[in-house]
Structure 1
């Protein structure tokens, strides 16, 4: 499964807005809660970041007014950009931590629509919340890395933004896909081995979801579709694995 096919799973999830709108509306509840919380923190940061930058750079107090203003203005914008990136890459983790019961309902309905055996229950709210917080931690580390790369002259901003999108997208895809796989009894090693065979699809899916989160209100509308799309991706990968196992048995075609 390649990059384009991974993106296709997100589109397949987005189609559920037309086919199952009530189910998808259920999925935006935790996303709205987290988005409101994050937006409040960003507004506070916009108001006070200038004071924080001034407090953190006392060595610039004696500089020429124009140079000091330019320097602190650049730092102010860099802090806001870093905060925006942090909000984007941690949004999914926080939303999954808050709304695991909502998203369990979505992936179970997708499983039912695909037929076959459907897990009786998910990983549980506590485990889901812990996994979501782990994703938040990885998001913070990603943001720090992007921030440091962004300090490089000329190419730093572009390289940092692209790298941040790719890394955070891959982490996001791994977390979303792990839910339906773990509910089917696959441990961490088995999930990692399965997904390594579908790196392109994982990357395509995760990057497209993360890119949608860059659009205002995109995270709220796309989050339930991303959960559904991850379930489609997981089932396709798992069915492929089972087919390969069958073909390797005596008498398999």
Structure 2
């Protein structure tokens, strides 16, 4: 339980850190706003032209009698729209992190500098960092989809499907959300995906304490935009805990740091 509380504490500390550094918070908002505008445009396009797309994709229903063709296409349009919204919610964080790679790396570096005095760097060119980030985000998304399919099937089991499965789903989502956010700091340290997952599994409650509350917040992409900078800052603090990177103790006053030398006496001439 101690790690569970610690994970929540790092989430709060990250929000406080960007609250004290408003310029970094504003800087970190940009990727989320860019992604949100893109997703909003895609959802509006799906709402406006989704019906036409379904009609075009189902020519075999043209000969169906009324009202079956209309009901079939309306149901299919609703499913496509719902699936698009679900995909947007699931992929929003990964896409935002990909779009904001340079922004969030800079924010994470500043947190490291403030907490430890140094900031590890990968030394890789930006295009290579983006490629690695995209590839590993896709691998994480595949894992999330597989877990989602499993929970979808288990959802039809009486009692368990309505109680344990939703709770387990939030835990799995929170774990992988923590992985995506800590990846910003861990990639700078050269830690690959497999090792990142091993580190988080070794401190599952820490990862869940950080990720599950964020999952609930991130269900609303607009909220995610404003919480994301603090989430990246908190994830960097969590990484320092995972790797045992202690922050330096504040310097003590010189008078307390060392005993004052005894006064020297010279013999009288």
TM-score (normalised: structure 2) = 0.72
1:178 aligns with 2:183: yes
Higher helix share: 1
Matches within 5 A, 1:47-66: 47-58=48-59, 65=66
More deviation in 135-144 or 180-189? 135-144
More deviation in 69-78 or 155-164? 155-164
- Deviation for aligned residue 1:84: 1.3
Contact 1:92–1:132 (8 Å) recurs in 2: no
- Deviation for aligned residue 1:67: 5.5
Structure 2 spans left out of the alignment, 5+ residues: 247-269
SS of residue matched to 2:40: helix
Separation (CA, whole Å) in 1 of partners of 2:133 and 2:164: 27
Change in 2 beyond 3 A, CA 1:146/1:121: closer
Structure 1 residue aligned with 2:89: 88
SS of residue matched to 1:171: helix
Structure 2 residue aligned with 1:139: 141
- Deviation for aligned residue 1:166: 4.2
- Deviation for aligned residue 1:146: 4.4
SS of residue matched to 1:217: helix
Contact 2:43–2:84 (8 Å) recurs in 1: yes
- Deviation for aligned residue 1:69: 4.6
Contact 2:104–2:184 (8 Å) recurs in 1: no
Structure 1 spans left out of the alignment, 5+ residues: 242-253
Structure 2 residue aligned with 1:19: 20
SS of residue matched to 2:100: helix
| Residues 166-225 of structure 1: CA deviation (Å, up to 9, x unaligned) | 444332321221232232343444433322211122233223223222225112111111
Structure 2 residue aligned with 1:38: 39
Separation (CA, whole Å) in 1 of partners of 2:77 and 2:157: 18
Task: Identify which of 183, 201, 211 aligns with 1:206.
Answer: 211
TM-score (normalised: structure 1) = 0.76
SS of residue matched to 1:15: helix
Contact 1:149–1:157 (8 Å) recurs in 2: no
- Deviation for aligned residue 1:59: 5.5
| Residues 64-104 of structure 1: CA deviation (Å, up to 9, x unaligned) | 64565554444333222221121122222222222212111
Separation (CA, whole Å) in 1 of partners of 2:196 and 2:146: 27
- Whichever of the two has the greater Rg, that structure is 2
- Deviation for aligned residue 1:54: 3.5
Aligned length: 241
Contact 1:94–1:136 (8 Å) recurs in 2: no
